[in-house]
Amino acid sequence: MAVVISDFSQIEDFQSTLECGQSFEDELCLEDILALTEKVKAWDEELKPAEDVLEGYFGIKIPREKLIGVLIKNLNLAYETYSDGISDTCCRDMLITAVLNEYNLPNWPTYGDVARHGKQYEENFYAQLKDAGIYAAG
């Protein structure tokens, strides 16, 4: 019987057994997923790195319950939050995309989007955030 991965501290060792390109999340059994989900549900201060990314890079705040829901749906993001890798460029992008998907909102506007579609495009996006109940500094 395999050992249940019940804590994110076990992921690093588990990842070392995977082939290049394999995601640990794809290899988890149901017991692992349930155990890690319970860990994320109990997080408090552990959420701070993800909250800091959302506020510091994107100027938004979302309710903790929503953030926990996003991390439970994507345990890779939860691991990156746990291991402090969430501030890496790729992880930041994955986090904001997952958050916006949770609210059924379009992707975060890029400089090219605003240049192509005009300032109104950006203003409309921020209005959508506000309508969704997301605090945005934009």
Residue 58: which domain range?
A: 43-136
Within a domain: 12: no
Give pLDDT, residue 1: 41
Count Cβ atoms within 10 A of the Cβ of residue 99 and give its class: 0-12 exposed, 13-18 middle, 19 or more buried. Answer: buried
Task: Answer positive or negative: Cα dihedral of 67, 122, 87, 54.
Answer: negative
Name the domain count of the chain.
1
Q: Which range has the worst mean pLDDT, 2-6, 99-103, 125-129? A: 2-6
Q: Is residue 32 part of a domain?
A: no
Residue 15, domain member (yes or no): no
Residue in the block written with tokens 């950006």:
122
Q: Is residue 8 part of a domain?
A: no
In a domain, 104, yes or no: yes
In a domain, 62, yes or no: yes
Instruction: Give the tens place of pLDDT for each residue, 45-71.
Output: 999 999 999 999 999 999 999 999 999
CB of 125 closer than 8 Å to CB of 111: no
Contact residues for 88 (Cβ-Cβ < 8 A; gap 6+)? 80
The pTM of the whole model exceeds 0.85: yes
